[in-house]
Structure 1
Amino acid sequence: MVAAGVMLVDKPGGMTSHDVVARARRALGTRKIGHAGTLDPMATGLLLLGVEGATRLLTFIVGLDKTYHATIRLGVSTDTDDAEGDETGRADAAVLSAATPERITAGIAAMTGRISQVPSTVSAIKVDGRRAYDLAREGVEVALKAREVTVSRFDVIASRRDSHAIDLDVVVDCSSGTYIRALARDLGAGLGVGGHLTALRRTRIGPFDVSDAASVDELADTSLTAPAVVAEAVLGRFDVTDDEARDLRHGKRLAGAAPRLAGDAAAAIDREGRLVGIVERVGGDVKSVMNLAQEVPR
């Protein structure tokens, strides 16, 4: 039987997130694997896989903030806002030259902090039950609503310029739901030259870093991170006694235990280091909002 846990994978370019899940299912011999946070085929980097009972933890992972390394090309627009789309516009040399480093810096500053962003048309957002990218591929005009996101860091670490384009290598720290392609598109639009994304790599999801991830060729030989370790890293730790663990698994509240809870929610971990479930405060009590099947100590 495959143990429950979370696997960090470094997704290569050219594969979908579902391709990685399928590869993991074959490598581990189980169908019960899911992922948190889709990466486009062009993108590379960190993908988190939940295995067996740990798939239930993905709900708490998907909303974590993220870090991306990307390359934005200013001067050229595409219909997908990335390099996989068809070119829809190109700025001439005179217009491009007006996109000075100072104007680029100001444009980036305006897109840092809490911003309103319209996702790319080819995003995975559902419209009337269907993915926006499927509708776009069928030629259906998709009008997605703007959403509030937070870009806490948007730094240029290198730039290259010629008469045809300006390439910016950037690092972005952002909230879940931020589209880096849309940042590229909107930066180019604001400068009047157009823009799209030519490279994207996700290097961090919450406390998890791509430096700890396995390649897709190493999945069969990679150890899973235990559910307790993952849940504690994401939510913090709430230690419980054997009696409390039993009560939580039976759906009972822990009366008066709320002062022991550092935040609003935490990972309840028993004396053997096993994850009992995710708990939250209710008044002065603590109750379970998600229980895991009791695991064998690892």
Structure 2
Amino acid sequence: MVPPGILLVDKPTGLTSHDVVARTRRAFGTRKVGHAGTLDPMATGLLVLGIEGATRLLTYIVGADKTYEATIRLGWTTTTDDADGEIVTRADPVAWEAVTDSSLDDGIAALTGAISQVPSTVSAIKVDGRRAYDRVRAGEDVVLVARDVVVSRFDVIARREGAGFLDLDVAVDCSSGTYIRALARDLGAGLGVGGHLTALRRTRVGPFGVRDAVGLDALTGTATLTPAEAASRVLPSFAVSEEEARDLRHGKRIHGRAGEIASTPAAAIDPDGVLVGIVEKRGADLKSAMNMPEVLR
């Protein structure tokens, strides 16, 4: 039997997230593999995968904030807002006269904090049951609704001037659902020269970092973290006795212990260090919100 766990993978460029899931299924010998958010084929970096029963934990990870390293090319627009698309426009030399250090700082400041963002039309967002990128590829006009996101950090790390373009290496901390391609597009539009993304790497998802991830060539059938280790990083942990663990698994409440936890949901860990499940408060009691499948030991 395949032990459940959370696997951190460093995705290479050129592969879809589904490709990574497929390879993980083969490496672990199970179909029960899920992910906590995809990456575009062009992008590299951290994918958080759930193995077997630990796929249930992905619900508590998918909404975590994220960190990206990216390169924005100002001066060109593309059909996809990234380097995979065809070039649509190149900025006129006159337009560059308005691009100064001050205007660049102002443009980045306008895209920092709580903002309203229209996702790229080639995103995976579903429109009437179909992915937006599928509709675009079919020749349909797609209009996506703006969404509220938070960009808590948008720093320029380095800049390089080219023939008719300016490349910015940036670091971005943002809420789940933020599109870095859209930041590149909107920064370029605000400066009047256009922009798109040429490189993207995700380095963090919540408490998980790409430095702890493995490459596809290093998949051994062993997860990076046990369910208990992963849950304790995402949620407050809560020690339960063997009897309480049994009660939770049978749908019973733990009476009178809700005050011991500052907030819920919380991860209930048994005396052997095994994740029983996720609990939530019900008055003075604790009730199971999600139970992990019991693993024979």
TM-score, L = length of structure 1: 0.97
Match of 2:80 in 1: 80
The whole-number CA distance in structure 2 between the counterparts of 1:9 and 1:243 is: 36
Amino acid aligned to 1:17: S
Match of 2:68 in 1: 68
Amino acid aligned to 1:8: L
Amino acid aligned to 2:155: D
Amino acid aligned to 2:187: L
Match of 1:217 in 2: 217
The whole-number CA distance in structure 2 between the counterparts of 1:277 and 1:223 is: 18
Matched, 1:241 2:241: yes
Amino acid aligned to 1:159: R
Match of 1:147 in 2: 147
Contact 1:96 1:163 in 2 (8 A): no
Match of 1:51 in 2: 51
Following superposition, the deviation at residue 163 of structure 1 comes to 4.3
Following superposition, the deviation at residue 141 of structure 1 comes to 1.0
Contact 1:5 1:225 in 2 (8 A): yes
Amino acid aligned to 2:216: V
The whole-number CA distance in structure 2 between the counterparts of 1:162 and 1:71 is: 13
Deviates more, 1:107-116 or 1:220-229: 220-229
Following superposition, the deviation at residue 97 of structure 1 comes to 3.4
Match of 2:268 in 1: 268
The whole-number CA distance in structure 1 between the counterparts of 2:266 and 2:123 is: 32
Contact 1:274 1:295 in 2 (8 A): no
Amino acid aligned to 1:251: G
Q: How does 1:252-291 map to 2 (within 5 A)?
A: 252-291=252-291
1:54-91: CA deviation from partner (whole Å, max 9, x where unpaired): 01111111100000000000110111110001111110
Q: Which runs of 5+ in 1 are unaligned?
A: none
Contact 2:6 2:230 in 1 (8 A): yes
Match of 1:189 in 2: 189
The whole-number CA distance in structure 1 between the counterparts of 2:181 and 2:17 is: 17
Match of 1:166 in 2: 166
Contact 1:156 1:168 in 2 (8 A): yes
The whole-number CA distance in structure 2 between the counterparts of 1:72 and 1:244 is: 53
The whole-number CA distance in structure 1 between the counterparts of 2:282 and 2:144 is: 37
Deviates more, 1:244-253 or 1:1-10: 244-253
The number of residue pairs the alignment matches comes to 297
Following superposition, the deviation at residue 261 of structure 1 comes to 1.4
1:138-195: CA deviation from partner (whole Å, max 9, x where unpaired): 1111111111000000000000123400100000000000000000000011111110
Match of 1:14 in 2: 14
Match of 2:204 in 1: 204
Deviates more, 1:145-154 or 1:161-170: 161-170
Secondary structure of the corresponding residue to residue 220 of structure 1: coil
The whole-number CA distance in structure 2 between the counterparts of 1:63 and 1:104 is: 30
Q: Which runs of 5+ in 2 are unaligned?
A: none
Amino acid aligned to 2:69: H
Following superposition, the deviation at residue 281 of structure 1 comes to 1.3
Amino acid aligned to 1:96: W
Amino acid aligned to 2:108: I
1:251-278: CA deviation from partner (whole Å, max 9, x where unpaired): 1122222111121211110111000001
Amino acid aligned to 1:74: L
Amino acid aligned to 1:150: V
Q: How does 1:80-159 map to 2 (within 5 A)?
A: 80-159=80-159
- 1:251–1:221 CA distance, 2 compared to 1 (3 A): closer
The whole-number CA distance in structure 2 between the counterparts of 1:247 and 1:27 is: 35
Deviates more, 1:222-231 or 1:163-172: 222-231
Secondary structure of the corresponding residue to residue 22 of structure 1: helix
What percent of counterpart residues are identical? 67
Secondary structure of the corresponding residue to residue 81 of structure 2: coil
Following superposition, the deviation at residue 94 of structure 1 comes to 2.2
The whole-number CA distance in structure 1 between the counterparts of 2:37 and 2:285 is: 33
Following superposition, the deviation at residue 20 of structure 1 comes to 0.3
Following superposition, the deviation at residue 216 of structure 1 comes to 0.5
